[in-house]
Amino acid sequence: MEAFFSQQGEKSFRASQMLKWIHQLGVIDYESMTNLGKNLRARLSENTTIGLPEIIHAQHSSDGTRKWLLRLADGNSIETVFIPEEDRGTLCISSQVGCSLNCTFCSTARQGYNRNLSAGEIIAQLWIANRELAAFGQSQRVITNVVLMGMGEPLLNFDNVISALHLMLEDHAYGLSKRRVTLSTAGLVPGIDRLREVCDVSLAVSLHAPDDELRDQLVPLNKKYPIRELMAACKRYVANQPRRKITFEYVMLSGINDTPRHANKLLRLLEHVPSKVNLIPFNHFPGSELRSSSGAVIDVFRDILIAGGLMTMTRKTRGDDIDAACGQLVGNFQDRTSRSHRMQKVVQGPRP
């Protein structure tokens, strides 16, 4: 933004003014930006646009969760979810139109993949949620946390995701702290290392299995970056930061990964990794033959992990009555790239 205004012959502080108008006050009409000169406002109106996705469907769950289906300029659609809790408000945003990773328990993966979202399309989800929640200009935050856990694998859209993350953290924009912004990955090891270098927000890893044999089936990316390499990358991510932990997400699948044997293997796997575990009851979607583990089975699994000294919680299912729960986001788009062909590009080849 500073470079842009310098090219216009303006002082660099115009950048912070513009960021505040757009991201803190929700103003996207140049004529309303009263501390910008009249001539500058006219040039901006003539030469630039501030574009937003269109809300084409909004749903409100009985538990307070809200979901928006957003139409992008090219006709594709994505989904964004807001989850209110007593002590926080969490926005789950998407980073791609669809997903190419083909994890077996995820409805988004069934829809295929179209393209990466731009940085603007990523941050626009936060902007729109603030507007819909009437949060702009409020002294107390409505959205306190952001998680990149919506549609797509964020680390496969690295540059655009990083640009959006910097806006989330920027004091002149949303001013969120690194610990309140979480990026979730299926385990793209080079991306984890790059993220640590440029924007070390909180990291969540979709693990879902305690060994390579099972994880190869559930998360095909594991064939490229097996668990041993993934754990090493996680240790590097939090190295020399004693208070930080990696969140490991573990979807509970009946008869597949939910036995005491799996729990004990998971304990051994994470023994030397600063970590906490979120157990996620599987959220069923049409066409899937998978079923969630029962509450009793999940409780036994959780208790084994806790008894072994591992911080563990069972994630409460939110928004499942509007298909807004974990793994249920699908959007509306044309699968432009064959998922199997694209997966070959990501996964193919010998393990490093």
| Locus of tokens 């090493």 | 232
Per annotation, catalytic residue among 106, 199, 234, 326: 326
Q: Provide the H-helix boundaries in 180-329.
A: 189-198, 212-218, 227-237, 260-269, 295-307
Per annotation, catalytic residue among 79, 121, 153, 249: 79
Catalytic-residue membership of 92? no
- Tell me the residue type at 117: L
**Residues 114, 97: Cα–Cα separation, whole Å:** 5
**Residues 346, 46: Cα–Cα separation, whole Å:** 42
Please state whether 168 falls in left (phi above 0), alpha (psi between -120 and 50) or beta: alpha
**Residues 138, 127: Cα–Cα separation, whole Å:** 14
Strands 54-60 and 66-71: antiparallel
Catalytic-residue membership of 234? no
Gyration radius from the chain CA atoms? 21
Q: How many CA atoms lie within 13 A of 50 on its CB side?
A: 18
Q: Which of 179, 181, 188 is nearest to 164 (CA)?
A: 181
Q: Which residues are catalytic?
A: 79, 326
